[in-house]
Amino acid sequence: MTDAYNEEVLARIAEGLVYTESEAAFQSSRRRTEQIFAYNHTPPGEAERRRSLLLAIFGSVGERTVLLPPFHAGFGSNVHLGDDFFGNVNLTFVDDVDIRIGDGVMIAPSVTLTTTGHPVHPSRRVDFGRFSEPIVIEDKVWIGSNVVVLPGVRIGYGSVIGAGSVVSRSIPPMTVALGTPCRVVRDITDEDLTTRMAKSDHDDDREGDRVG
Q: What is the pLDDT of residues 119-128, one digit of tens each?
A: 999 999 999 9
Q: How far is the C-alpha of 4 from the C-alpha of 64, rounded, in Å?
A: 40
pLDDT at 212: 73
pLDDT digits (tens, 9 = 90+) for 144-182: 999 999 999 999 999 999 999 999 999 999 999 999 999
Q: How far is the C-alpha of 38 from the C-alpha of 166, rounded, in Å?
A: 30
Within a domain: residue 209? no
- pTM of the complete model: 0.91
- Whether 52 has a pLDDT exceeding 60, the answer reads yes
State which residues form the domain around 26: 3-187
pLDDT at 1: 64
112 pLDDT tier (thresholds 50, 70, 90): very high
Within a domain: residue 33? yes
The structural domain count of the chain equals 1
Q: How far is the C-alpha of 66 from the C-alpha of 144, rounded, in Å?
A: 16
- Whether 200 has a pLDDT exceeding 70, the answer reads no
Exposed / middle / buried, residue 17 (Cβ in 10 Å: 0-12, 13-18, 19+) = exposed
Within a domain: residue 204? no
- Whether 96 has a pLDDT exceeding 50, the answer reads yes
Within a domain: residue 34? yes
pLDDT at 195: 74
Nearest to 136 by CA among 96, 182, 183, 100: 100
Catalytic residues: 118
Structural contact between residues 155 and 134, judged by C-beta atoms closer than 8 angstroms: no
Within a domain: residue 125? yes
Within a domain: residue 75? yes
User: Rounded mean pLDDT of the chain?
Assistant: 93
Instruction: Count Cβ atoms below 10 Å from residue 43 Cβ, excluding itself.
Output: 8
205 pLDDT tier (thresholds 50, 70, 90): very low
- Whether 196 has a pLDDT exceeding 90, the answer reads no
Within a domain: residue 27? yes
* DSSP-based three-state secondary structure for 94: strand
Q: What share of the chain is helix, strand, coil (3-state, %, to 5)?
A: 25, 25, 50
The secondary structure element, H or E, covering residue 54 is: helix 47-57
Within a domain: residue 210? no
- CATH number, residue 16: 2.160.10.10
pLDDT at 168: 98
Nearest to 157 by CA among 195, 108, 80, 105: 105
